Structure 1
Amino acid sequence: MRQAALLVAVVCLLAVPVAGAVGAPAPQSAALQEDAASSPSGVDITVQIQSDGAARWTVSSKYSLEDDNATAAFEQLRGRFEAGAADTEFSVDVFRAVVPSVSDRVGRQMEIRNASRSSRVVEAGNNTTGVLSLRFTWTNFSRVEEDRVVVDSFSTQWFGDLAPNQTLTLRSPEGYDTENVLPPTSIVENGYRWSGPHTFDADRPFAVFTENDSVVGVSMVVLVAVGVLALFAGAATVWAYYRDGDERPVPWLRDVRRAVASRVREALSAESESEAEESAADADAAAGSAAAEPAASGASDDADSEPTDPELLSDEERVERLLREHGGRMKQSEIVEETRWSTAKVSQLLSSMAEDGRVEKLRIGRENLISLPGEGVDNGIDEE
C-alpha cells in the first residue's frame, strides 16, 4: 500500500519510504535515535478551505508521554522544533517542493505562505500527549467558481495514502455548504475525516462547497411559499370568473399574475427556476381565461404598457433601474443586497445580461463590478 507521501516526508521521525515527487525520507534526529520512546504515535492533517480558494494546513505529530523519560525527550524535541532546527522535525520546504507540479496540473499559480510552528502538551485523564504542529497557507489550492469552491488539488502522485495512525480532515469554508465530497466519509469535529490505513483513488480527496445562501436545492419553506402563491393566484382566477359572468378582462388580475410570477422566480433556485416558470406560465394561462367587470379604478387594459411599479418590472429591468439609480455602476454584492435575491440568481442573471450587451462586468479581486454599457468600469473602485 502506498504511504502518504507528504506525511512521511514532513514527519521525519517516521523512517518510511516517500512516494511521488517528494523524494527520500528525511533523517532522524540523534536524540530520537537514542530514545525510541519519542517516536510519534500519530499524525493528523487538517485542511481548512478558504472562500478565496486558499487552504490553511495544520500538520500535527503526536507523541505519547508515558513516563518521565518520554516527557524529557519531548521537551528537548519541542525546543529544537520551535527553533526551526532543519534536521529534527517538519519542514515547510517539503510542501514548497511539490507546489510547482500541482500548480501545473491544475493550471493555477500557487504559493506556500505564512508558515509557523507551535507545540503543546495535552492532558486527557491519565494520558499525556505532546503535539508538534506546522501551519501554513497554500494559495489557490481550490478552484473558485462564482458561488462554489472546488477542492481539486489532491493527488496520489504527491499526497499518497494514509498509513495507520494517520488522519486527514477537510473542512469547508465558513458560510459554505457541502455539495459533494469524494470519497464519502463521516464528519468529525466539523470536518470530513479519513483515517488510515486508507487508500485514495486518483485525484482524491475531492470536494465541492457552495455558499449557503446560494440556490443549490430548494428547501421545504420555499416550496410551501410557492404553493401558497399558486393557490392565491388560482383563487383570484376563480373568483374573477364566477363573479358575474362578464367576459371583459380585469386589469388588476393581470397585475396579480405578474406579481405572482415575479415572486415565484425569486423563491426558486437556479436549478428549479425552469419549473417555477412553467408553474407561473400555467397560472398565467388559467388566469387569462377569467372574466369580470373592470376595476373601479379605471386602469388601462393595455397589457403591453411598460409598468412603473418595481414589482411589475422584469428581473433585467429591475437591475437596469438599480444601476441607473446608483450612477450606472454597482458591485454585484450590492445588487444582491438591494434585490434580496440569492447570490446564484444574481450571478446567472448578470451573466445573461452581459451576453446580451445590457450590462458590462469587470472582475476586481473577488468582486464583480457591474455597469451599464458606456458608463465605464475602471474608475472609482479600488481593487481589493
Structure 2
Amino acid sequence: MRDASRGAVVSVAVVLLCLSAVGPVVGAAGERGSPAPAGQGVAAQAQPPPAFQSAVDPDVVVMRAAVDGNGTAAWTVEFRVRLDDENTTAAFESVQADVRENASAFTSQFATGMARTVGSAENRTGREMALEGVRVDATTEQLPQEYGVLTYRFTWTNFAATDGERLRIGDSLSGLFLDRESSLVLSWPTDYGTESVTPDPDETGNGSATWRGPADFGSNEPRVVAAPAGGGLPTTALAALAVLLVAAVAGGGWLYRSRTGDGTEPGASDDGATGATAVAESADDDAGEAADDSEGADGGSDEPPEELLSNEERVIRLVKDNGGRIKQQRIASEFDWTDAKTSQVVGTLREEDAVETFRIGRENVVALPEESDL
C-alpha cells in the first residue's frame, strides 16, 4: 500500500513539469485519502496523464524557479495537502515515512521524468541543459491550518536564455498548463529591472511574477524579459563606486585641515567630529532606523503567502479583511475572476458552511456566518 501511495505522489510531480510531449501516466486512485490499489503506479505509456490522481491529492501545488544571472534556475516544487481528516493524515504520514526510509526511490523516479522534460526543452530551445541535485523532503507545517508538504528541489542549468546581460525566461515551459490548485512563480535577481512579462501575471513582486491556475499558456508563454537596472552596472561596481565616494569625502576633509592648519573644518560637531564623520554617523543612524522599520513591518505575521492559499482560502481572507462581509462582484474584481468562477468558489464555501450569501437589491453579498445576522 505504501509503495503505491509513494509512486502516485511522486508521479504528480512528474506530470506537473513534463510538458505535453513527454508526460508519463499517473495510476488512478480512489477517493481523496484512500489508499491507491496495488500496482497502479506510473505506466510508461504515451497517453495524456490524468490530473492529480494520487493517494494523497494535493490541495495546493506551488512551483518556483529562481533564475540567476547566467540563466540557471533553482527549482522547488511543493505539494501541500490539508490534513483535515484521519485518512488524509494517515496517507501523508505513510508517504513521509517512505521519504525518511528511502528518499532515493522518490528522487530517482522524479529525476527520470524531469530529465525527459529537460531534454525536450533542450531540443526545443537549442540550449544545452542539465538536471542536477534532485532532493526531496516531507514535512508538516501550520499555515495556519495543518498541511503536509512534499517538496522537491533541483537545479536546471540554462533554464533561461541570456542575451548579453538580459535574461529571457520561460521558453523552457512553453505551453505549460496549470490546473486550479497550482501556481507558478518565476523570479530573477532583485537588482534586475523587468522589461516585459507575458501573459499578465496574477501577482508581481520585487523580481518575481506569479500565475495561478487554471491557466493554459500559449506556445510563446510564459515569457519574462529582465535586465540589470541602472544601465547594467553590476553590484560589485556599485560597491566600488560607494567606496570611492567615501574616500573622496575623507580626502577632501584632510586636505582642508592641512591647508587651514587648525585641525577643524566647517560643520564639525562640538565633540570634534568632522563633517565626514558626522555624515557617516548620520548614515548609520538612518540605516538603523530603516532596519527597525523593516523588522516592524515583517514581524508578527502568521499569515501564509498568497500563492499558498487555495481559491476558497483567498476568498475567506478577503471577506475577513473587509469586516466579515463583501459584495460578490467585488470578489470577482479583486481576483480578476469571471462571474462563473466566482460563483463556483463561493458556492463551494457555502456548501461547506464557511460563508453565507444574501441579496441587497441586485447585489449578492458574501458574509461570514457570524456576520450574516448583523
TM-score normalized by the length of structure 2: 0.49
Based on CA coordinates, which of the two structures has the bigger radius of gyration? 1
Identify, as 1 or 2, the structure richer in helix: 2
